Amino acid sequence: MIHQYKNNGYNIVMDIASGSVHVVDDVVYDAIAMYEDHTKEEIMAALTPVYGAEEIEEALNEIQELIDQEMLFTEDEYQQYVTDFKKRKTVVKALCLHVAHDCNLACKYCFAEEGEYHGRRALMSLEVGKKALDFLIENSGNRVNLEVDFFGGEPLMNWDVVKELVAYGRSREAECNKKFRFTITTNGVLLNDEIMDFCNREMANVVLSLDGRPEVNDRMRPFRNGKGSYEVIVPKFQKFAKSRQGQYYVRGTFTHNNLDFASDVLHFADLGFDQISIEPVVSAPSEPYAIREEDLPQILAEYDRLAVEYIKRKKEGRGFNFFHFMIDLSQGPCVAKRLAGCGSGTEYLAVTPWGDFYPCHQFVGEEEFLLGNVYDGITNTEVRDEFKLCNVYAKDKCRNCFARFYCSGGCAANSYHFHGTITDAYDIGCEMQKKRIECAIMIKAALADQD
């Protein structure tokens, strides 16, 4: 299978099964489009009036060369590979610790419902946290690198426990031959020098939540008294970011209210941030800020606009990284990883303040997905196995999607919330995902063009 598209003056051809990507001229582009269901004679006949016979001859030769090298029209042989998916032994390698189901902001789209996750307000005790880390160590098999994200609500509302859990994790690394990679996601309200110093010593990454331009941020991210949070938070984030040597992300959410979100990304860049992520909101379609199908044309155009500016700034030496435009074409993940996806429910679990396990942070509070707890381990193996079977080829929509090895089958939580099953795909999300991949590859082509 191939996927071809034109973007920003580049003709791009992706060979999906091999992972090859080519930039081609117009002749090759048109010939490839006809290649699979036309004979050479037919292609010659159709294109000669446009390009001349010699050009087409040459194009066809080059196409053949790529086919011979297994870089074009390659067969997908991976379907075989996943028949063993259920048998594969999975180990747990990442936890999302909900150390505080409480928050000092009242963001309108918060899937945690101001930190409460359809439940009560609560802070994780040190004891529950330690049990969770013990569980991770014991259930991670031979894996050395273990990831723990401190999440909320707002994790800084339970800062002492965070610090003690980091110390506890470190104290067990040597005896267990494990390495913890701690990260934290914060809204910044409580950030101070002590916290920043600690994070700079101990946290491999920090994710700083902010939505963009002041009016955009303050509309969706107010304090509980309704006041905006931008002014309080931005200076702290700027200071923090500067001290992190690139190991951070400023992360925002765009909604129906700011479909011109490229301006928010660029606003971050203008504030001096160079590690940026802004994602579409995921919400019930009934919410006034929900992204609707009719918003798509504008959103897709916005990604294009951002991509062009992104290239321009990179070439001028004032570039930044946008999470969804980053793609590792040569040393990216192996096929196994690309097929398996996010690992929610198997490799990755979320832990509530009172120690319950859920497949991931987006399932917390959905009772039918309760998997077990830190004391008894995984008891609901039925749901766990459902997640284990979740892979690109288990999803009808993904099986023939050109994006499957980049997107790895999308988000199980989105699929569940829109279609009531984890093996479907959230269609609006797919359109955006595919656009981001096209932009990311075009950017590679444009930057390669430079040298």
Partner 1 sequence: MKKIKTLTANTLKNTMKKGGCGECQTSCQSACKTSCTVGNQSCENANR
Interface positions with ligand SF4 (CB under 6 A):
333-334, 336-337, 342, 344, 348, 360, 362, 395, 397-398, 401, 403-404, 407, 409-413, 425, 430, 433-434
33 lies in the binding site for partner 1 (CB under 8 A)? no
Q: What is the dihedral of CA 324, 240, 154, 114, to 10 degrees?
A: -60
Determine the Cα–Cα distance for residues 418 and 265; give it in Å rounded to an integer: 27
Q: What is the dihedral of CA 216, 219, 222, 224, to 10 degrees?
A: -170
Determine the Cα–Cα distance for residues 386 and 416; give it in Å rounded to an integer: 12
Provide the 8-state DSSP code for 106: -
Q: Which is nearer to ligand SF4, 7 or 433 (CB)?
A: 433
Provide the 8-state DSSP code for 103: -
Amino acid at 63: I
- C-alpha of 157 from chain center: 26
Identify the H or E element spanning 422: none
244 lies in the binding site for partner 1 (CB under 8 A)? no
Determine the Cα–Cα distance for residues 344 and 356; give it in Å rounded to an integer: 15
Q: Which stretch binds partner 1 (CB under 8 A): 155-163, 194-202, 307-315, 407-415?
A: 407-415
Residue 397 touches which of partner 1, ligand SF4, none (Cβ within 5-8 Å per kind): ligand SF4
Q: Which is nearer to partner 1, 151 or 159 (CB)?
A: 151
Q: Which stretch binds partner 1 (CB under 8 A): 123-131, 192-200, 215-223, 335-343?
A: 335-343
Residue 286 touches which of ligand SF4, partner 1, none (Cβ within 5-8 Å per kind): none
53 lies in the binding site for partner 1 (CB under 8 A)? no
Footprint of partner 1 on 286-305 (CB under 8 A): none
Structure tokens of 152?
């909320």
Q: Which stretch binds partner 1 (CB under 8 A): 97-105, 131-139, 187-195, 402-410?
A: 402-410
Other Cβ atoms less than 10 A from the Cβ of 423: the count is: 18
Footprint of partner 1 on 195-234 (CB under 8 A): 205, 207
Residue nearest to ligand SF4 (CB): 410
How many residues make contact with partner 1 (CB under 8 A)?
Answer: 90
Contact by Cβ (8 Å): 250, 263: no
Determine the Cα–Cα distance for residues 265 and 233; give it in Å rounded to an integer: 17
The single residue among 127, 329, 389, 400 that binds partner 1, judged by CB under 8 A, is 329
Determine the Cα–Cα distance for residues 397 and 213; give it in Å rounded to an integer: 36
The single residue among 17, 44, 106, 378 that binds partner 1, judged by CB under 8 A, is 17
Residue 401 touches which of ligand SF4, partner 1, none (Cβ within 5-8 Å per kind): ligand SF4
Q: Which residues fall within 8 angstroms of residue 202, CB to CB, at 6 or more apart?
A: 166, 170, 182
Residue 22 touches which of partner 1, ligand SF4, none (Cβ within 5-8 Å per kind): partner 1
Residue 163 touches which of ligand SF4, partner 1, none (Cβ within 5-8 Å per kind): none
Footprint of partner 1 on 136-175 (CB under 8 A): 143-145, 147, 149, 151
* Residue 269 bridge partners (DSSP): none
Residue 181 touches which of partner 1, ligand SF4, none (Cβ within 5-8 Å per kind): partner 1
Q: Which is nearer to ligand SF4, 268 or 369 (CB)?
A: 369
**Token pair 């699929």 in the structure block, residue:** 415
Q: Which residues fall within 8 angstroms of residue 357, CB to CB, at 6 or more apart?
A: 349, 350, 351, 370, 371, 372, 373, 374, 378
Other Cβ atoms less than 10 A from the Cβ of 67: the count is: 14
Site string for partner 1, 123-142 (x = CB under 8 A): --------------------
Residue 106 touches which of partner 1, ligand SF4, none (Cβ within 5-8 Å per kind): none
Site string for partner 1, 373-392 (x = CB under 8 A): --------------------
323 lies in the binding site for partner 1 (CB under 8 A)? yes
143-155 burial: b if 16+ Cβ within 10 Å, else e: beebbbbbbbbbb
The single residue among 41, 160, 294, 328 that binds partner 1, judged by CB under 8 A, is 328
Residue 76 Rama label (left phi>0; alpha psi -120 to 50; beta): beta
